[in-house]
Structures are given as C-alpha cells and as structure tokens.
Structure 1
Amino acid sequence: MSSSLLILSNSDSGLYDFRKEVLKALLEKGFRVLVSVPDTGYVDKIKALGCEYIPTAFERRGMNPFQDMKLMLFYRRLIKRHRPLAVLTYTIKPNIYGGLAARLTGTPYLVNVTGLGTTLENGGILQKMIILMYRTALKAAACVFFQNKGNRDFLVRKKCVTGKVRVIPGSGVNLDEHRPEEYPPGDGQIRFVSIMRLMKDKGVEELMTAAQAVHEKHPETLFQILGAYEEETRHIYEPRVKELEEKGILCYYGYRDDVPVFLKECQAVIHPSYHEGMSNVLLEAAATARPVLASAIEGCLDTFSEGCSGLAFQPQDSSSLTEAVERFLALSYEERKEMGRQGRKYVEEKFDRNFVVAAYLEEIAGIRSGRFGPS
C-alpha cells in the first residue's frame, strides 16, 4: 500500500500559514507528503517541513474551460504517476478538478470546502455550473470537511454532497504560535486593523466609508489595512485609499508577513467580509487577545461571542459598521481589555488547531484500513 499523500491547493501561503500543522502531523506519521500548489514565495518553507514540491500553475480566479481542463488532466497525471494512498484537496478549483481526477483514477480523496466563494454566493448561471461540477467531483469523496454549518447545509441541499461530511473548526488556530499579548495603553491613538484582500466582497468599500465617518468624530482613531489589491479592481480602490491616507484616516501597508506585530499594537480588528468559510483573521486576532468587530455572517459569527469577545454588524452596510465602531469606542479601557481576554478563552475552547489535525489523522487512518467511501 502506498505511503504517499498528495495535497492540492491554490495557495502556498495559505497551505503553510493555516495547515502546516496538518502537514507536520502527516510527516511524523511516516507519510511521504507531495504538495502541488502555485509558487508565490512560500514553497521553500513547505519544503523545509519535509514535503516534496510539485510545480503547479493555474488561474486562481475566473473560469477558462481550456485552462481548467488542463488542470484536471495535470492532476490526473500526478495521481497516476505517484499513486498516493489518498488525495487531500483545499479551495474551489483543487476541490473540483482534483476531486474529479481522484474519482477517475479510483483514488480515495478528502475535500476541504474552505468557503463557497463569490460565484456560489451570488447565484446565476455560473452558480448552476459550479453546483453541477461539485456534484460530480464530490460524489465519491471519502469525507468532505466543512468549515461552517451553513456551507455544509447549502451543498447538501443542492445535492452536491451525498456521502460522509464533517464540520471542523475552520483551519483552527495555533495557540502556541499566537499567544495573548498585553493590551495597548489606554491613552493616545486607537488603532483598528483590517487584514484582507482589497476587493468588494471583503468589505473594503464599507470599511473606507466607516473609517471616514468615525475619524471625523474621533480624530484619535487610525484604520490600518494589510493585504494586497486584486489587480482587476486596483484602479477603483487605490485612489480612495491614497486619499484617506493623505487625510490621516487610514494607513495601507500592502501584503505583510509580520501580521502579529500589527495585532499586538492594535485595540481591535475589523473584518467586514461578505462571506467566509471560517475567518482565520478573526481566530488569530482573538488568540492574540484582541476584540473583533465583524460581519454578522457564518464564518465570522462562529469566531466570537457577541458583546463578550466581539461586536457584529450587518454585512454590506457601512452605517452598521460605523455604529459598531462607535459602540466599541464607548467602552471603557477595562471593558475593551476584557473583551480581548474573553476572545482568547473562546478560541482556546473551540478552535485549537489540534482538533483539525486529529480529524485528518482519523479519516486517513480509516482510508488506510480500507474504511472509506460515501456512507
């Protein structure tokens, strides 16, 4: 029996940042771990863990039938060449095309639905196409992992999943790596941090509108954004970001790999996303003992206790976001600090990444012993 596992994902940074503990656990169990992801700068870190890297290139966003078929055939060749014990897939395209390739070759596979994505959330003809592809790709999966119950219920209702499913606590959070930090002093500037790709569905428009409204009443506030622009909409958001920077309302730092430094120095994290699988941003903020202000959607609401460790606001609603920030600013220093402490306690109880590692090891043990397949 093969001792290799093939990992398919669309992001080397996401795989390393949020799933390296799973990779380490598989390596410690003696598996040969093969990783197929595009290289955007994190591959050396993945290789340093002990994984073998397979160069992979594909378009993360958009649907090009020719390119997507090439990807599926590429995955099929990989599976036939390496004959892994199982294939582990993450994110939409690897889930669909990796799932199809595994099914065609009769290879057991585990799928992780990290979120539904914009296309499935928005409906229309593209949604129908994705649903049809998911029905075909997920049909023979040994297990489909979901990061929240809403995503599970949606795909089960659409008959995309008919076999074994498990809801896991997102990617979890490494509680040793993300330690609680002393809350910043109560005097001086109040910093709110948002960690996001600068695109509409991440709530960047609502964030900028709310930042301007809040800063006019509370000039001691500063809104910080970490993350890269989506190139197709950069021309829309970059001028507005620069305008707010010039007014001292906002600071934009681009993509950063020193996020913990910003979490340590901020008073709260704001996450105005329209949809999430499970927000790693909010989990890491709470683990650092920082209050969170987030959209009232599944994948965000799961990560905090309303009024205890965070505050919710309506998605796609800058007025609701502004109101949430105002409510936070009305809290005393000790109340804000206590919110952070409660956030740490919440993720310790519910989102330890070891829970996710254990779920993967259990399913792979089942495959190894011959207990797999739709049930």
Structure 2
Amino acid sequence: MASSLLILSNSDSGLYDFRKEVLKALLEKGFRVAVSVPDTGYVDKIKALGCEYIPTSFERRGMNPVKDMKLMLFYRRLMKEYRPLAVLTYTIKPNIYGGLAARLTGTPYLVNVTGLGTTLENGGLLQKMIILMYRTALKKAGCVFFQNKGNRDFMVQKKCASGKVRVIPGSGVNLTEHRPEEYPEDSGQIRFVSVMRLMKDKGIEELMAAAQTVHEKHPETLFQILGAYEEETRDVYEPRVKELQDKGILMHYGYRDDVPVFLKECQAVIHPSYHEGMSNVLLEAAATARPVLASDVEGCLDTFSEGVSGLSFQAQDSGSLAEAAERFLAMSYEERKEMGLQGRKYVEEKFDRNFVVAAYLEEITRIQQNR
C-alpha cells in the first residue's frame, strides 16, 4: 500500500493555484495524497489531480477557543485514521493546530509559514499568545519553510522555530502557465491593475487616495481592482470605491478567476500591501512581463529589482505610491516594455516553482530515510 501524505490548508483556491505542482509531484512519486481544506469551489480541481478530499470547515479569521480545539481534535483524528508518512501544513491555523495534532500523534510534519499576518505584525497581547502557540506547535517540525528571510528571522528570534528552517522562493511561479505577453500597444490609456482583497492591510486606502491624486493629473490612467471585500469592512470601503468608479478613476471587478487576462492588457501592476510572505500577484505579473509597483516590505521587494523590473514605494503612504506611479508614467513606452521583460528574466532566475517542488521532495525523502 502506498504511503500517504496529509495536506492541511485553509484555502482550496490557494492550494490549487499556487501549490498544485507540489501535489502533482507527490502523486507522481506514488504517494496517496489526502487534502483537508474548506470547499469554496476549487475542490473538484484538486480531486481531478488525483488527491483524496476530506471535507473540512473552520473560520479562517479570528480566534474561537471551542472551534479551534475542535479543529485540532479533527486533525488528530485524521492523523490516526490515515497514519501518514508526513503532514504538510500551510497558513496559520493549520500550522498551529495541525502541528499540535502531529506532535500528539507522533507524526512527522513540514510547516510552511506563508506570512506572519496582521496579528504577529501588530504586536500586543494577542501576538504573545500566537507566539506561544507557535513555539509549542512547531517544536518538533521536521522542517519549517519560510517565504522570506524577514519572516524566518522574526520567528527564529521569537524561538518559534528552533529546528531546521529553510527559506524557499515563496510558492514560486509556474513559468509555463504564466508566459510573457506582448506589451500593450500605446493607445493613450494606462491601466494599473491591483489584485487584492479590499481590506486595510492590503493597502486599499492608500490605493484609492493615490488613484485619485494621479488621475487628476493624468486622466488617461485607469486603476483596476480585482478582489472581493472582507465582509466586516465592506460598508467602510464599498461607498468610496463606488464614488471613484462613478468618476472614472477606477473599476472594481470583484473576485476574478481570469486574472491573466487583466495582466496581459495592463501596463503595470500595483501592490500596496502592508506585509507579505511572498506576493504571488507580483510573481505572476513579472512572469507575464509586466512592470510592478509595490510597497517596500519583504515579500514584495524580493520579487523585483528596484528601478530595473519595478519601482517601490513606502508602505501605508499614499503620497509615496502616487510618486511611484508618476515616475512610471514619466517613462517612455520602450522603457516600460523593457522593465517588464527584465521582470520576466528576474523570476525565471529566482522564482521558478520547480525550486519549491524540489525542496518539498527533498524533505519528504529525508523523512522516508529516517523512518
């Protein structure tokens, strides 16, 4: 009977879009791969790869001790049932509660810290609680993967990761799926695309303010936003978005699964996030040969060469964002096009998703050899 691997994540779309190559590689190696993730519409695609699906429900945001304890017990039950060779966890709740369950059952496990998140970034009592939970959950991990050096250094300094750690190039980017596209002809309109959830920490406030400032000077610009509202702040941002949309400054398209179409047709991508593990949006934009404008935080800065394949601006600063857009608009058509081509070259050298696949296969082989 084939050895099994158990995958724990909080997002079926994220698992499929950014990690399907890892799943495919594990299946090709002959592993039985079982996936525990909430179903939001991508489960059929995951099953089509050959994975088994385990229905799972939990709240991605917030802390509810009763529900979180149930999640940990659910994970422990899965590990006892499947007796996997190893458990692979992604994102904060699967990392913590999956890690605790793996320790309780003596199951080898590999953890991927996809980003620190708002709680760890902001400090306070809740941060101290999360750090304590991480210390306990990750203590026996076979390896903890980090997507940038800053996240690794923070977690090691806080003694959350005391064993083997590795920095991998985020989730990498599939360079075959995301091919370089011809730069749009100079039609007079400049389209800036942002792919983001409409929430404060993703920089929606700064983006809207900068869009208005830039559009007043450059009416040929259009800011396109792809992404859904967070329900708890929809009432805050929706009226403002509608106001700017009515003025022709921006267009909000909601969540889209055809992002590559928008990347192909835009002149540049803007990503104003306050914090990132590694920005998949920027990697895919660069792979498409589009220049990127991004906040100066780790996980964004890593994805481009300043002034060569992209431009940075100060996070949480709409004026700085507007200045970066102005610098881009001052460039010639050929300079913008060349900046996009340099972005493609940059991710080819540093962010091929096959690098990430190889890292996982290496760690799983090590677990097999140590059984």
Q: TM-score, normalised by structure 2?
A: 0.99
- Name the CA distance, whole Å, in 1 between partners of 2:157 and 2:109: 22
**Paired position in structure 2 for 1:138:** 138
Amino acid at match of 1:149: K
CA distance in structure 2 between the partners assigned to 1:354 and 1:236 by the alignment: 41
Aligned partners of 2:35, 2:143: CA distance in 1, in Å? 20
- Cα contact 2:2–2:30 (8 A) shared by 1: no
Give the equivalent residue in structure 2 for 1:180: 180
Number of equivalenced pairs:
371
Aligned to 1:99: 99
2-structure distance, mates of 1:275, 1:146: 14
- Asked if the contact 1:135–1:159 (Cα under 8 Å) also holds between the matched residues in 2, the reply is yes
Paired with 1:124 and 1:201, the residues of 2 have a C-alpha distance of 17
Report the Cα distance in structure 2 between the residues aligned to 1:307 and 1:196, rounded to whole angstroms: 23
1:201 and 2:201 aligned: yes
Question: Would the aligned equivalents of 1:197 and 1:230 in 2 still touch at CA under 8 Å?
Answer: yes
- Residues 80, 105 of structure 1: 8 Å contact kept: yes
SS in 1 for 2:180: coil
Partner of 2:288 in structure 1?
288
1:160 aligned onto 2:194? no
Deviation at 1:2, TM superposition (A): 6.2
Equivalent residue of 1:297, what SS?
A: coil
TM-fit CA distance, 1:368: 0.5
1:190/1:222 contact within 8 Å kept: yes
Say which SS state the counterpart of residue 144 (structure 2) adopts.
strand
Asked if the contact 1:2/1:84 (under 8 Å) is kept, the reply is: no
Q: Where does residue 48 of structure 1 map in the other structure?
A: 48
Contact 1:2/1:85, CA 8 A, preserved across alignment: no
Structure 1 letter corresponding to 2:284: E
- After superposition, give the CA deviation of every residue in 1:115-139 in whole Å (9 maximum; x if it has no partner): 0000000000000000000000000
Distance 2:102 2:187 in 1: 57
Deviations 1:288-335 (A, max 9, x none): 000000000000000000000000000000000000000000000000
Q: Tell me, in whole angstroms, the C-alpha distance in 2 between the residues paired with 1:225 and 1:235.
A: 17
| Aligned-pair identity (%) | 88
Return the letter of the residue paired with 2:98.
Answer: G
In structure 2, how many angstroms separate the alpha carbons of the residues matched to 1:208 and 1:71? 38
Secondary structure of 2:342 counterpart:
helix
So what's the TM-score if we normalise by structure 1? 0.98
Shift of 1:186: 1.5
Question: How large is the Cα RMSD of the aligned pairs?
Answer: 0.7
Counterpart of 2:40 in 1: which secondary structure?
coil
Give distance in 2, aligned partners of 1:255 and 1:117: 21
The aligned amino acid for 2:232 is E
Match in the other structure for 1:23: 23
Detail structure 1 runs of 4+ shifted over 4 Å in the superposition.
Answer: none
Matches within 5 A, 1:264-283: 264-283=264-283
Shift of 1:187: 2.5
Q: Which amino acid aligns with 1:76?
A: R
- The residue aligned with 1:310 is 310
User: Secondary structure of the residue that 1:89 maps to in structure 2?
Assistant: strand
